[in-house]
Amino acid sequence: MSYEKIPKVELHRHLEGSLRLSSLIDLAKQHGQELPADTPEALSPYAQVLEPMESLDAVLAAFDLFQNAFRSLEAVERITFEAIEDAARDHVALLELRFSPGFMAQPANLDWDEMMQAILRGVQKATQQYNILVGLIAIVSRSLGPTSARETVAFTLNWRHELVGFDLADAEDAWPAKDFAREIKPLHAIDMPITVHSGENVGPKHIRESIELLQARRIGHGVSLIEDQTLTEQFIENGWALEMCPTSNERTQAVERLSAHPAATLLKRGACVTLNSDDPGLFAITLSGELQRAENEMGFDQGMIEQARQNAISASFIEQKIKNDFFNVQEKS
């Protein structure tokens, strides 16, 4: 069936991975930057990851052109607006959108608080125009190191009412959970919900550490969870959510092929599996397309896709009352 018209829920989408190629070109012109091509079709092979790469690191390196678009506050606002607009056009009803202030600020040394204000303007404009619920998550880019992590924690404390959660991303192998356990402690004190990119291209011991040392209650990817029976049982028992991203997991070779993805098996066993796009601009995908792939290639039937959607609604970090009100109105209309 087609999933385009169904109101969907996305828990794992990066702002920096949501750029339109047409905007990348526009913004490069505005900022006086050279690009390897000047039409979306010709730029695609340079900017997007359309085939499986040799590793997660190779995919992370492909982010360069996208990162370079964040050179002004106008660009930040525009990219935010368009990311939400694209989600709304794909009938995403609830969107958690995440961004790494340290990573975004790098190319032009933008002020983090001014960037946040620009993001909020983008959110406000988009949510006035489209019927979509948006929650923002701040990310620590692990490879920027503990100082950047401390700054991101301070940023998160400062903007805690505008953010719904906190995340750690990239290079888990080189930067394991223990390197950040102390830095993120102040967030536990305010009960800031924590999700962590974990077990994507590394074994399940990293997922265990994300749970134990960082108190993550949602895991981004978690592809290797299934290798640890005891931990899998704990996930099922506690309802800890898995934000799984089929095409992303295929292109970073977190799974050899989609038919070998553990999402369906975990969902059938009662784990809180959710399906997400990760980086729709980078991978040239939509959430509808991801659900379609889950049905065609990963052993999901429509009931399982609906279960994953319900899981995502309940696991969303957006306040329960706001979610309930929003979906009650949706169902009545």
Q: Which is nearer to Zn ion, 183 or 278 (CB)?
A: 278
Contact between 272 and 239 (Cβ < 8 Å): yes
Q: How far apart are CA 178 and CA 210, in angstroms?
A: 9
Active-site choice (16, 77, 82, 200): 200
Which residue type sits at 305? I
Considering only the stretches 58-66, 270-278, 288-296, 321-329, report the one whose residues sit in contact with Zn ion under the rule CB under 5 A: 270-278
Considering only the stretches 71-79, 170-178, 187-195, 272-280, report the one whose residues sit in contact with Zn ion under the rule CB under 5 A: 272-280
- Which positions from 191 through 220 interact with Zn ion, judged by CB under 5 A? none
The residues, ordered by sequence, that sit 6+ positions from 183 with a Cβ below 8 Å of its Cβ are: 140, 146, 149, 150, 153
Q: How far apart are CA 167 and CA 234, in angstroms?
A: 21
Joined together, the tokens standing for residue 23 give 């905007």
Q: Which is nearer to Zn ion, 12 or 71 (CB)?
A: 12
Q: How far apart are CA 24 and CA 10, in angstroms?
A: 23
Give min distance, CB of 166 to Zn ion, in A. Answer: 14
237 labelled catalytic: no
Q: DSSP E strands: which ranges in 148-216?
A: 165-169, 194-198
Looking at 278, 282, 283, 288, which residue binds Zn ion (CB under 5 A)? 278
Considering only the stretches 55-63, 64-72, 276-284, 319-327, report the one whose residues sit in contact with Zn ion under the rule CB under 5 A: 276-284
Q: Which is nearer to Zn ion, 80 or 141 (CB)?
A: 141
Give min distance, CB of 243 to Zn ion, in A. Answer: 8
Q: Which is nearer to Zn ion, 28 or 243 (CB)?
A: 243
Q: How far apart are CA 15 and CA 63, in angstroms?
A: 12
Residue ranges binding Zn ion (CB under 5 A): 278
- List residues with catalytic annotation: 200
